[in-house]
Amino acid sequence: MSWTDLAENGRILIVDDAMENVRVLQQLLCDDHELLFALDGAKALALARAQRPDLILLDAVMPGMDGYAVCAALRGAPELCGIPVIFVTALNAPEDETRALEAGAVDFISKPFNAAVVRARVRSQLTIKRQADALRALSLTDALTGVANRRSFNASLDSEWRRCQRTGQPLAVIMVDIDHFKEYNDRYGHLAGDLCLQQVGAALNACLARPPDLLARYGGEEFIILLPQIDADGAAVVAGRMLDAVRRLGVAHANSTAAAHVTVSLGVAAMLPEADGEAAALIRAADARLYRAKAGGRDRYCA
């Protein structure tokens, strides 16, 4: 099996302070899965953070941070709490198992174990994880354009707003609305309208260069862009790039008063989030500027 097949079958982190226990699990799983190893709890957490495994097989009794503490730490970290944990341990009392499940483990395997049963339990947890990941991605993605949806945008806005409150950095938002899009649908039909929305979404996305920037579909023919750590001048540059990118698409729009092709209007706002401020103020400011861009004749941005 190739490395990419292994990656598809899930990446598993094996945590145990005894090397011989790690080896047993390694031999059992290495043909079907990509494996990572940690010999103590602190290293397990660091590796989980850096490599984002799909499943963790966790020893209970370890010097320093034991398995229960590792499991509790994983459950408490938003970016790690979706990784399922199976305890694999010599402990076998019902209260040990209960404690593990209460700490957030999804399964508990006592030694001595049966190899086939361990493989089957691992596979079933990886399947559940894959389904959960797929559902999560769906819940955050706009079905038509493939960009983030409004739920995803709102979650990012909240966390970036709080981050910028802590760090004193600015946060910018650009609201984008397609000009005379009702007329576009009336003239060319709704299927062409859908295609146009996809093209505009892709053109806007291509204007974003930094990983934290986020483009989302905000509503019908409205997009919104979150630009963390960018001030008003920087955001205006991005808005200008987006305006040009949509013009360059050259999608014919005979019924537009702004141009012979599809255009957008953009509203740009940036703020230094104050301790008592709220993110909605940033959206309101961008919306007010979008309205000014529309009133000013469309096919432009206001910053």
Q: Which residues bind Mg ion (CB under 5 A)?
A: 17, 59, 61-62, 177-178, 181, 222
Q: Which residues contact 251 (CB under 8 A, 6 or more apart)?
A: 196, 199, 261, 262
46 binds, among ligand GH3, Mg ion, none (CB under 5 to 8 A by kind): none
* Smallest distance, Mg ion to C-beta of residue 70, A: 12
* Smallest distance, ligand GH3 to C-beta of residue 117, A: 49
Q: Which is nearer to ligand GH3, 44 or 178 (CB)?
A: 178
* Nearest residue to 191 via CA among 222, 199, 38: 199
97 binds, among Mg ion, ligand GH3, none (CB under 5 to 8 A by kind): none
* Nearest residue to 256 via CA among 166, 162, 184: 184
* Nearest residue to 169 via CA among 205, 212, 208, 209: 212
73 binds, among Mg ion, ligand GH3, none (CB under 5 to 8 A by kind): none
Q: Which is nearer to Mg ion, 224 or 236 (CB)?
A: 224
Coarse DSSP helix, strand, coil percentages of the chain, rounded to the nearest 5 percent: 50, 20, 30
CA distance 67 to 225: 42
Q: Which is nearer to Mg ion, 125 or 256 (CB)?
A: 256
302: three-class secondary structure by DSSP: strand
Walk across the sheet containing 301-302 and list its strands: 214-219, 222-228, 171-178, 264-271, 301-302
Number of chain positions touching ligand GH3 (CB under 6 A): 17
CA distance 147 to 141: 6
* Smallest distance, Mg ion to C-beta of residue 18, A: 5
Contact flags string 255-294 toward ligand GH3, x per CB under 6 A: ---------------------------------------x
Instruction: Find residue 42's DSSP bridge partners.
Output: none
* Smallest distance, ligand GH3 to C-beta of residue 215, A: 16
193 binds, among ligand GH3, Mg ion, none (CB under 5 to 8 A by kind): ligand GH3
CB 44 within 8 A of CB 58: yes
Contact flags string 192-231 toward ligand GH3, x per CB under 6 A: -xx--x----------------------xx----------
CA distance 146 to 164: 27
| Catalytic member of 34, 97, 160, 221 | 221
- Calculate the alpha carbon distances from 67 to 20, 55, 90, 126, 172 in Å: 17, 14, 12, 20, 42
Rg of the chain (C-alpha set): 25
Q: Is 221 a catalytic residue?
A: yes
* 114-173 residues near ligand GH3, rule: CB under 6 A: 144
Q: Which is nearer to ligand GH3, 68 or 223 (CB)?
A: 223
Q: Which is nearer to ligand GH3, 129 or 298 (CB)?
A: 298
List interacting residues with ligand GH3 (CB under 6 A). Answer: 144, 177-183, 185, 190, 193-194, 197, 220-221, 294, 298
Q: Which residues are catalytic?
A: 221
